[in-house]
Structure 1
Amino acid sequence: MSFFSYDMLKNLKPGEFAVYNFIISHMEKIPSMNIRELAEITGVSTTTVLRFCEKAGCEGYTEFKYRIKCRMSEPEGRNNYDSAPALQFIKNVERDELFQDKLGEVADLIAQSGQVIFSGDGEGRSLAQYGIYLFNSVGKAAFRCEKENGTVCPEKEIKSMLFILSVSGEDEEMVSLLNQYKESGAFVISITNTEQCLIAKMSDINFSCYMPETYGKNTGSVRGSQLPVIYILESLSAIISFRE
């Protein structure tokens, strides 16, 4: 089971998200930290930390630390994958008229654009390639942004669209690329894990997934389900194909 649920993450306030981001990346440190230390290192009040613990289903910080300690003691080889948050996301947005309207709006913008330039960081790199395949399959010119080759945004009259896939939404290279494209007149769409990250705030339209992340205590890696991203990309290509 995921330690943090989709519904919990979606309802976190910015300060509480700062606590979450630190915990998920430094889970092994939490059992030895007191509440004041956690509050100080995340730049929030102890009250904010307590609210976070309550939203995580704990009566206080002591119980929260105990649950973290128990989670860290689980064998690394155990299968911790939980599909429930991703499936819940898809179930929720299928019934969300505002979300479906946003998909339709973005699909229309993509159809009207001259070309779509994809870029992603981490797992987003592979998903960007999948997005290119999907859009090309419905007759839309889509390419990968090759940063290492110095690719820049084409002239404004081409009506280019930049599509960024970034879990953290804070990658320095992605932020720089987004800024460059916006200055060149491109419309920017992004898919990030939260709407509170820099890339989401800089984008013209953002889809946020709020997927719980899993922490590998041996590798130190942090990962989250990418099923919502695939759902969004496939939905957009299906809408474009249907409206052609």
Structure 2
Amino acid sequence: MFTSEMISSFNELETSLYNYIIKNADKVIYMRIRDLADETHVSTSTILRFCRKLNCEGFSEFKVKLKLYLDKTKESQVKSSQYSLSEFMERTLKGNFETVIKDAASLIVKSDNVIFIGTGSSGILAEYGARYFSSLGKFSMYVKDPYIPIHANYLHNSTTIALSVSGENSFTISHLNQLKQKGSNIISITNNKHSPIAKMADINISYYVTEEWYKTSNITTQIPVVYILEETAREVHKLSEN
């Protein structure tokens, strides 16, 4: 509701008003404009000017938007990881999941270079994936800097494995676009096969679990991703041995 651009546009009185509202939001949504003016020692015209900067026509509209914002950011109940695991098994493992993993492994085993990319929790698992693949004999590396120079000679006969829950991360899309243009094969591991990253990939492995948020953090389970990484690495190892 309060963007950085909006906050930077506040003058001294408006900043004081903003600080009071943030600390007392649950109370402000039930106040009259005169009550808020008395509490914050500003004029009602200052409050109305503050509301207009937030794209609200008046104080009443501001209170409605503030209540909606509070409702949206209230703590939601965190589900058990057992629920997420059973959901993954019911929705995904009963399909042609193993076939897709074998197709991905066949592509990887033929590649000279394997690159993992991802950000946030997906980045942590991308690093884990690179280590796990390397431990099973397929040397891989994790690249976390989206601005790293990419040279085509290194990407000859390479496969990039991109991890993203939403499949919409802008840094990963930008990085993936560069790698794809340089000729790298693309495997994506996402929660949705219709996402941009999934559509950019030669092979997409989707795991379909319900996205879960806690306040502003995406806490969608990564259990399926660990399974996919380990199962694919083991399949690559088996194909290499054969």
TM-score for the superposition, normalised by structure 1? 0.62
Question: Taking structure 1 as reference, are residues 163 and 214 closer, same or farther at Cα in structure 2, changes over 3 Å only?
Answer: same
Partners of 2:201 and 2:76 in 1: CA distance? 39
Asked if structure 2 preserves the Cα contact closer than 8 Å seen for 1:156 and 1:185, the reply is no
Question: Taking structure 1 as reference, are residues 89 and 137 closer, same or farther at Cα in structure 2, changes over 3 Å only?
Answer: same
Aligned to 1:85: 84
Amino acid at match of 2:119: D
Task: Show the 5 A alignment for 1:174-193.
Answer: 174-193=172-191
Aligned to 1:240: 236
Partners of 2:124 and 2:80 in 1: CA distance? 20
Asked if structure 2 preserves the Cα contact closer than 8 Å seen for 1:162 and 1:189, the reply is yes
Aligned to 1:109: 107
Asked if structure 2 preserves the Cα contact closer than 8 Å seen for 1:156 and 1:184, the reply is no
**Higher relative contact order structure (alpha carbons within 8 Å, sequence separation ≥ 6):** 1
Asked if structure 2 preserves the Cα contact closer than 8 Å seen for 1:153 and 1:186, the reply is no
Partners of 1:78 and 1:182 in 2: CA distance? 40
Partners of 1:90 and 1:151 in 2: CA distance? 39
What are structure 2's unaligned runs of at least 5 residues? 1-70
Partners of 1:193 and 1:137 in 2: CA distance? 26
Tell me the secondary structure at the aligned position of residue 152 of structure 1.
coil
Partners of 2:172 and 2:83 in 1: CA distance? 30
Question: Taking structure 1 as reference, are residues 129 and 86 closer, same or farther at Cα in structure 2, changes over 3 Å only?
Answer: same
Q: CA deviation at 1:167?
A: 1.1
C-alpha distance after superposition, 1:135-166 (max 9, x if no partner): 10111120112426624154277311111001
Q: CA deviation at 1:193?
A: 1.3
Partners of 2:94 and 2:77 in 1: CA distance? 34
Identity, % of aligned positions? 34
C-alpha distance after superposition, 1:42-69 (max 9, x if no partner): xxxxxxxxxxxxxxxxxxxxxxxxxxx7
Asked if structure 1 preserves the Cα contact closer than 8 Å seen for 2:166 and 2:191, the reply is yes
Aligned to 2:6: none
Task: Show the 5 A alignment for 1:55-74.
Answer: none
Q: CA deviation at 1:241?
A: 2.0
Amino acid at match of 1:125: G
Task: Show the 5 A alignment for 1:28-177.
Answer: 76=75, 79-90=78-89, 93-96=92-95, 98-147=96-145, 150-155=148-153, 158-177=156-175
Q: CA deviation at 1:122?
A: 1.7
The number of equivalent residue pairs is: 170
Question: Taking structure 1 as reference, are residues 163 and 144 closer, same or farther at Cα in structure 2, changes over 3 Å only?
Answer: same
Partners of 1:149 and 1:117 in 2: CA distance? 15
Asked if structure 1 preserves the Cα contact closer than 8 Å seen for 2:159 and 2:184, the reply is yes
Amino acid at match of 2:84: P
Partners of 2:76 and 2:89 in 1: CA distance? 28
Which residue, 223, 227, 231 being the options, matches 2:227? Answer: 231
Partners of 1:188 and 1:92 in 2: CA distance? 24
C-alpha distance after superposition, 1:55-91 (max 9, x if no partner): xxxxxxxxxxxxxx7x987xx4965334223233235
Question: Taking structure 1 as reference, are residues 221 and 156 closer, same or farther at Cα in structure 2, changes over 3 Å only?
Answer: closer
Tell me the secondary structure at the aligned position of residue 213 of structure 1.
coil
Q: CA RMSD in A?
A: 2.5
Asked if structure 1 preserves the Cα contact closer than 8 Å seen for 2:213 and 2:220, the reply is no
